[in-house]
Amino acid sequence: MTDQAGMSMAFDAAQRGCGEMTRSVQGYAGAATGLRTGLEACGGGTQQDPELVVLLAEFTGLLSQAADRSAQVYAATADGMADTVTAVRQAEAASAAQVDAAQVHAKGAT
């Protein structure tokens, strides 16, 4: 296998991983949003036991906050992966353009 072929396969795999990450991140973000809106919709019910109300509010609040925070971390990871793939693609294009320019220059010299 040539370097170029190997490179292309690895690039495809990275791009595939990036796409899969984006889809998974969207799924997780949807679940986190569903959790937040679901808990908001539940409200406090008619619960009047002060200790239980406080415990529940803290527990569900922290859970929702942690779900949102982890969704952000996942989103940032997917963004980072996408940026890397884009950067490599741009670098490849620039490299190819340099090679073309060098060949044109060589032809001109002969």
Partner 1 sequence: MSLTIPAEYATVAGLIGGGVAALFTLDEDHLREVGHTLGVFARQATPSLAGAEQAATVFTSATSGATRDEFAGHWNTLASEGHTGRLVRIANWGSTALGAIAQAIELAKMGVLAWLGWSTAQLAIAAFTGVGVIAAATSALLRARTSIGSITTKLFTHLRGTVAQTIRRASDQLKDILNKLPNLGPKPRLALAGHGPTPSATPKGGTRLSSSWASPGKRKAADEAMQRRRAAQESIKRLGKEIEDLEQQNHQFRQAIRSLKREIQGMREENAELILRIRDPHMSVWSAKSYGELLDRQTKLSQSHQREISSLEKAINANLVSIGSKRIAQTTERRNL
- Spatial distance between the Cα atoms of 3 and 64, rounded to a whole number of angstroms: 47
**CA atoms within a 13 Å half-sphere pointing along the CA-CB vector of 40:** 8
Task: Map the footprint of partner 1 across residues 68-87, applying CB under 8 A.
Answer: 69-70, 72-77, 79-81, 83-84, 86-87
Give the nearer residue to partner 1 in terms of CB position, either 73 or 102.
73
Q: How far is CA 91 from the centre of its chain?
A: 21
> What percent of the chain is helix, strand and coil (3-state, nearest 5)?
90, 0, 10
Task: Map the footprint of partner 1 across residues 90-109, applying CB under 8 A.
Answer: 90-92, 94-95
Would the CA dihedral through 13, 15, 19, 25 be positive or negative? positive
Site residues (CB under 8 A) for partner 1?
A: 1, 3-4, 6-7, 9-11, 13-14, 16-21, 23-25, 27-28, 30-32, 34-35, 38-39, 41-49, 51-52, 55-56, 58-60, 62-63, 65-67, 69-70, 72-77, 79-81, 83-84, 86-88, 90-92, 94-95
